[in-house]
Chains A and B, each alone.
Chain A
Amino acid sequence: MKPVSYKKDFLVRNIQKEFENFSDFLSQLKLPEGFDQYLLYVVSELFTNIEEHSEAGRAKIRMKINKNLFLVIEDTGIGIRRSYLKRKIFPKDDFSAIDFALSGLSAKDSSKRGFGLYSIQNLTRKLDGQLTIETGRAKIVIQKNKKEYQKIAPKKGTKITINAPIKKFAFYKYLEK
């Protein structure tokens, strides 16, 4: 596949329009069956998280595609932990906050499931990809069944990075699980 890249810095209030731009760009690429759905799903989930939880004014998306996908979506908002705290859910630190999100605990309603990062983690694992989440002072890198916890310099907002091989993918089968 011919290498392509996509980069946008945008206002969160224009996130719907930005998703349309991204989707139109994606539709011009000939990605393998199921992989295109995976990518659209991941970006829609992360954009929704930014819109619903981050309180950020701006966000960024960067994507590089060759044999692999390299995708970064970041915002300058309140971060995952503060988003939980605002809803009376109390992760003890930024690592716990990420783990809460990865376990599917909703930051909107504690009686609901939060499928965003939970499902992205599962799908990216099935693709043999790597998912990295950075927020506050925490960075967690997930690859296969390994999770690495790293302390970082304080970071405003949340940054999600995905590295994954581009291949045919049974997206709906794995989303269902």
Chain B
Amino acid sequence: MKIKFEKKYLISRNDAKILKEEIATSTEKIVILDFSNVIFCSRSFIDELISLIEELKQKKISVKLYGLNDSLQKLFKIVSHQRKEIQKEIIK
């Protein structure tokens, strides 16, 4: 299943939640998210998307991110790292 984002800017958590509904209707085990149109994502959108990816992983659905520009790649890494740090704080 391939989903291409048509928006240039993804700032709302709702954008990720809509995606969740779309994926829920599919039975495929690999989802490719195409970001080649996207210029910018907010930290909130990325946070929500990472939550969704983790949730899908539990259901044995793999998500691949395609077409991320350099800025988005950096932002994804930072948000992902910050989430892990928070998890460590909660576990402590």
Contacts and interface: CB of A to CB of B under 8 A. Distances in A.
Given A37-B71, A115-B82, A23 B12 contact: no
Interface stretch (A47-55, A70-78, A161-169): A47-55
B11 A111 contact: no
B74 interface: yes
Interface stretch (A38-46, A80-88, A133-141): A38-46
Contact of B43 (A19, A20, A115, A172): A115
A175 interface: yes
Given A48-B42, A52-B44, A113-B82, A20 B8 contact: yes
A23 B9 CA distance: 9
B3 interface: no
B20 interface: no
Contacts of A96: none
A112 to B, nearest CB: 7
A172 B39 contact: no
Interface in B2-36: 7-9, 11-13
A123 to B, nearest CB: 12
Nearest to B85: A113
Contacts of B43: 41, 44-45, 48, 115, 119
A48 B43 CA distance: 9
Contacts of B71: 37
**In the complex, which of the residues A23, A37, A48, A112 has the most CB atoms of chain B within 10 Å of its own CB atom?**
A48
